[in-house]
Chains A and B, each alone.
Chain A
Amino acid sequence: MAHDRSRRRRDLGRPAPWNDARLRSLGLQAAVFILLLALAAYLAGNAAANLSRQGIATGFDFLGREASFAIATTLIRYSPADSYARALLVGLLNTLLVSALGIALATLLGLAVGLARLSRNWLLSRLALVYVELLRNTPLLLQIFLWWDLLRLAAPPPRTAWRPLPGVFVSVRGVYFPVPVYQPLYLWMGVALAGGVAAATGLRVWVRRARAGRPPLPAWIGFALVPLPPLAVFLAGGAPHLLDVPHVTRFDFSGGQSITPEFAALLAALVAYTAAFIGEIVRGGILAVSRGQSEAAAALGLTRGQALRLVVLPQAIRVIVPPLTSEYLNLAKNSSLAIAVGFPELFAVTDTIANQTGQSIETMTLVASAYLAISLTISLLMNLYNRSAALVER
């Protein structure tokens, strides 16, 4: 059909080429393109001249060379004898760690802040407002510096460490907390957990198909299916558990798991700062669901809690998700401020490598692409979620 039409379309007169709308648009685009190419060529020429003058060799060969610097926090095995490429991987993993933890914690805190802002309790809503305004209107970097100084200067030495919870120690050495020691049974508990999740999902699908139109099963049945199987395996296996609890030695701690003051400061600042923004997004999303909706729910006899859970939140979530996505992106990008306190995430590691090797262009290009990839991944995931939330409606 389209082919047919293009044959039927005839030339409508022949204007002067500079007046022809189509030729004009083509010409303009070509001009912009050539201009950009010329600019790129000029810049590349300058760069080549400058590089050869400074005697810097370009290329990514340096990635295979020995890094020969230590990294304090590593999720994978790493030593200074490893390559620059592995050091970068360590940094990337640290970025992902901070981002993932930060996003999870900031979402929880942000939700609490947003609900507090909407509370009918005047004191609570004012308190939340003060929190939001204070954190939103000062630079994150300043907040990171303050957290860091609090953790490394105000925190006590190990011997007199603060103990906010039994087994948890906060001192100038960082935060120490207990972790369970690995048991072979845990693997089977993992399998059981996966089975529980599969069963719960299957139940949901079955309920939607087979019981459509009838009153839904209580939600707790589905939720109970998830933790019960691993618990059963745990008990059946004789409930073996062993906690690796940190304890104070003369100048330090031993045992347990620790995070450095830098990591703690960065994470705390990122979470507190982002939660202020998320709180406002949650509040805005709930307010955006018109009052008519809550009133209609109330008129149907739903309680305030039911109205919030069944009517308001499902609609609000669609308003909330897009701006929430950009907050998640901001948090991931802001984790690069770690360089100010020396936590070895991707950007800090890259900066160290750039200083050691002088390969600034290559390293900065690498880091920029890595962040772009992270940003695009988060947007993609949130878009997928968004689409599923929109589909459930119909």
Chain B
Amino acid sequence: MSVGLTRALRWTRANLFNTPLNGTLTVVIAFLLLRFLSPMIDWAVLRASLSARDDRACAAVGGACWAFIRDWFRFLIFGRYPYAQQWRPAIVLVIFVALLLASFSRRLPARRLAPAWLGGLGAVALLMRGGVLGMPYVETGLWNGLPLTLILAAGGLGASFPLALLLALGRRSSLPALRVICTCYIEAARGIPFIAWLFLMLVLLPLFLPPGLVIAKLWRAEIAFALFIAAYLAEVVRGGLQAIPRGQYEAADALGLGYAQKTLRVILPQALALTIPAQVNTFIGAFKDTALISIIGLFDVLQDTNTALNDPAWRMAYVEGYLFTGVIYFAFCYSMSLYSRGLERHLGQGRR
């Protein structure tokens, strides 16, 4: 026990009080932390209301209004999806989490991942839409909340991937016309804010389609999203392509492999493996960007929160509401970034 104590003391001295300046800093920070943490705990736990009827009741106790989350929980997650049918989006969430875990565990070999995600997304669409197997039909306007956020992110990323590969290869092509076209597209998409791009696409898509053909807003947003992400992903892939030594191209040429074989069997597998961490970071950005569709009136998990907060009974529970939603986003993004960092370390050790 005393060994543990000396070790703790030694650690404290080495990490908190190693210089006079650091010692002072430690004391100041600790003081400030206590100043802020104790009222925060007071607010979030000790004085929190779990069963109040509105925000006034919470304010009377002076703590967090978790009763708001309890009251609106199903709406915050599933939005306006028919209440009795909400087991369907619940299964959708399970499917997504299972797919994510399977992808991150590295157990599933890479060539099975794409079919698994395609199959998973198919099942998701079927479950959400219904109209078969005795499940009532539900229109896309009611696909709300967290399932919508995940559908947008996964579908958009999946659709953007092939386009990103083509754009990256095009930008590195020896054909000047292809190079110019791909470069212009990539730079234009990356130079425009996503929200402007989203508006532009939502306005322009129906205009450019043949009269009479109407696409649901959800799918229009999905297309806009995929076209946007593709430009960023293309730059990531291009970085990978640039990192492949020239000898690899030459060896493939010398063996008589044609452009397609060379690209598919030799160059792309290496470029993609090399850039997985950067790809995951792009995915995280894209996942966060899905929140912007709340501005164009789609009910993702953020818009659900905004809507619930419009309830006059809970108007002042906004910190609790945004904290709850923030935790959901954080859980997804942080786990992805942990995975990407772990992989980066793994790649750094493995390759050379």
Contacts and interface: CB of A to CB of B under 8 A. Distances in A.
A50 B209 CA distance: 8
Contacts of A142: 291, 302, 322, 325-326, 329
Nearest to A53: B211
B211 A336 contact: no
Nearest to A47: B207
Contacts of A364: 196, 199-200, 203-204
Contacts of A25: 174-175
Interface string B30-52: 10010000000000000000000
Interface stretch (A130-138, A160-168, A175-183, A211-219): A130-138
A70 interface: no
Nearest to B323: A146
Contact of B192 (A120, A351, A354, A368): A368
Nearest to B336: A137
The number of chain B residues touching the other chain, given as a range, is: 35 or more
A365 B306 CA distance: 30
Interface stretch (A8-16, A29-37, A197-205, A244-252): A29-37
Contacts of A333: 192-194
B207 A51 contact: yes
B18 A138 contact: no
Given A122-B15, A137-B330, A339 B195 contact: yes
Nearest to B325: A142
B263 interface: no
Nearest to A28: B175
A339 B297 CA distance: 13
B57 interface: no
Contact of A140 (B30, B200, B288): B288
B294 interface: yes
A141 B178 CA distance: 36
A101 interface: no
Contacts of A260: none
A347 interface: yes
B295 A134 contact: no
Contacts of B306: 145
A145 B322 CA distance: 8
Contacts of A139: 288-292, 302, 329
Given A123-B29, A137-B284, A138-B288, A46 B192 contact: no
B16 A29 contact: no
B16 A336 contact: no
Contacts of B200: 364-365, 368
A73 interface: no
B235 to A, nearest CB: 10
B196 A368 contact: yes
A30 B192 CA distance: 29
Contact of A33 (B19, B177, B206, B210): B177
Contacts of A33: 177
B174 A46 contact: no
B73 interface: no
Given A32-B177, A122-B15, A361-B207, A337 B195 contact: yes
Nearest to A140: B288
- Range of interface residues on chain A? 35 or more
A390 interface: no
Contact of A137 (B206, B315, B337): B337
A350 to B, nearest CB: 8
A136 B319 CA distance: 18
Given A137-B337, A149-B318, A29 B177 contact: yes
Contacts of B207: 46-47, 50-51, 361
Contacts of A253: none
A83 interface: no
A146 B319 CA distance: 7
Interface string A358-373: 0011001101100110
A384 interface: no
A183 B196 CA distance: 42
Contacts of A367: 196
Nearest to B337: A137
Given A25-B175, A47-B207, A368-B200, A138 B333 contact: yes
B188 A372 contact: yes
B176 interface: yes
A347 B29 contact: no
Given A145-B322, A337-B195, 11 more contacts: A123-B26, A137-B288, A138-B330, A139-B302, A146-B319, A149-B322, A153-B318, A329-B191, A336-B195, A340-B295, A360-B204
Lowest 5 A-B CB distances belong to which pairs? A139-B291, A29-B177, A137-B333, A122-B15, A333-B193
16 contacts: A28-B175, A29-B177, A32-B181, A121-B15, A134-B330, A137-B284, A138-B329, A140-B288, A146-B326, A153-B316, A337-B292, A364-B199, A368-B188, A368-B200, A372-B191, A372-B192
Interface of A: 25, 28-30, 32-33, 36, 43, 46-47, 49-51, 53, 119-124, 127, 133-134, 136-142, 145-146, 149-150, 153, 329, 333-337, 339-340, 347, 351, 354, 360-361, 364-365, 367-368, 371-372, 375-376
Interface of B: 15-16, 18-19, 22, 25-26, 29-30, 33, 174-178, 181, 188, 190-197, 199-200, 203-204, 206-211, 284, 288-292, 294-295, 302, 306, 315-316, 318-319, 322, 325-326, 329-330, 333-334, 337
